[in-house]
Amino acid sequence: MRYQKALKYLVTFFCIITLNFFLPRIMPGDPFYFLSSEQGEVTVTYSQEEIDRFKAYYGLDKPVLAQYGSYLKGIIKGDLGYSIYFGSDVRTIIKNRIPWSVSLVLLSVIIGGGAGTLLGCLSAWQRGKGSDKVLYGIMVVISEIPAFLIGIFFLFYLAARQGIFPLSGGAKPFADYASWADAVLDIVYHGFLPTLTLSAVQMGGFYLIARNSMITVMSKDYIITAKAKGLSTGRILFRHALSNAALPIVTQAFYSLGQAVGGTLLVENVFKYPGLGSLMRQAVMVRDYPLIQGIFLTVTFFVVIMNAVVDILYKKLDPRIT
């Protein structure tokens, strides 16, 4: 059983890697064509001789299958290749960007998920009453608006118009902090709007799932038992009901961790936040294949790993699943 699961994930990874390899090669365009064009400030031109040399260097002159083989070998060794545009190791570039994105995603899932779940519980408890109806309406709207639109709204209103928050970036450029506390404060200050944006979207999703799940659970016999026992509302709601409603909520949490990575790619671009999202945009612009592949791989690995975590957690949360 367990081996079967492991094998399933192994196959998934293999498919992802394969897709990741072939996808950019199907895409139109050529990194050397871009490097040699007038894209941005890059004005370096290459002669045919130079291009051939680069192609040989990156192994692009070999047959595709051979390229695929060496790509696989590289990945197993942890080597994601060499960025054509940045001229440095892809792994290092991504490693530098990951903390920004991951902290954004984690924070927003924790904040948005917590708030959404709590509101969902209260809404389910008050089901059919005014407060439930109002909350439900708001949350449906929030959960349907794309993250970047909310981000743009915050950017225009809170940053540009009111000037409360910075317009872009992850920290003050060229800053010289007096203490580490100052540094943390500055990072929090910069990260506030992107986190808020992603949290809002997360909250909507979590609210809907929590409310739904709680309503189902609230009609179960054991809730009647708990009420008959004269237990307090808090205990009924959070010990008896929520623990049973938690399964779909936790699934949602890890599922959205994966999704939020996708969301953050766009939101980061809105705020020019120095995470994987901004990096990806740049990489796509210049057809930097090794980098694009590296980012893809990182993001998909993240999603798959989150799914695996859900699988494991499921068992821990529901002892009936064997």
Partner 1 sequence: MLKVENLSVTYSGDGQKTHAVREVSFSLEQGQSMGIIGESGSGKTTLGLAIMGILSSTAKVTGTIEYNKINLRELSARQLDMYRWKHIAMVFQNGLDILNPLMTVNEQIKECIIRHLKIKNHDADSRVKELLEQVGLDASVADNLPHQLSGGMRQRVLIAMALACDPKVLIVDEPTSSLDAISKAEIIELLSRLQHQKRFAMIVISHDFSVITRLASKMCVMYRGCILEEGLTRDILENPLHPYTRGLINSSPSLNPYQDLWGIPRAGEATTDEGCSFFPRCSQRSQICKNQKPKLKYASLERKVACNQGGIITLLEAWGINKTYSFKGNKICACKDCHMSIRAGEIIALIGQSGSGKTTLASILSGYLEPESGNIEFLGQTIKQHEFTSKPKGIQMVFQDPFSSINDQFTVMQAVKEPLDILKLYNTDERIARVKQALIDVELASDDTFLNRRCFTLSGGQRQRVAIARSLVLEPRLLIADEISSMLDPSTQANILRLLKGLQNTLGFAMIYITHDLDIARKIADKLYIMHKGEIVETGPAWKVFDNPESEYTRKLMSKAGLA
Q: Which residue, 17 or 124, has its beta carbon nearer to partner 1?
A: 124
Stretch that binds partner 1, among 184-192, 208-216, 218-226, 290-298 (CB under 8 A): 218-226
Short-list 301, 255, 257, CA closest to 91: 301
Question: Does 66 engage in binding with partner 1 (CB under 8 A)?
Answer: no
Give which of 84, 33, 99 is closest to 293, Cα–Cα. 84
Closest to partner 1 by CB, 90 or 245: 245
Residues 6+ apart with CB under 8 A from 1: none
Q: DSSP letter for 177, please.
A: -
Query: From the list 244, 252, 278, 300, which residue makes contact with partner 1 (rule: CB under 8 A)?
Result: 244
- Work out which of 232, 285, 301, 312 binds partner 1, going by CB under 8 A: 232
* 230 touching partner 1, by CB under 8 A: yes
Burial of 320 (0-12, 13-18, 19+ CB in 10 A): exposed
289-318: contacts with partner 1 (CB under 8 A)? 317-318
N-to-C CA span, the chain: 10
Q: How many CA atoms lie within 13 A of 70 on its CB side?
A: 11
If binding is defined by CB under 8 A, does position 221 make contact with partner 1? yes
Nearer to partner 1, 51 or 231 (CB): 231
Tell the smallest beta-carbon distance from residue 251 to partner 1 (Å): 16
Among 43, 239, 301, 312, binds partner 1 (CB under 8 A): 239
Exposure class string for 205-233: b at 16+ Cβ within 10 A, else e: bbbbbbbbbbbebbeeeebeebeeeeeee
Residue ranges in contact with partner 1 by CB under 8 A? 220-222, 224-232, 235, 239-240, 243-244, 317-320
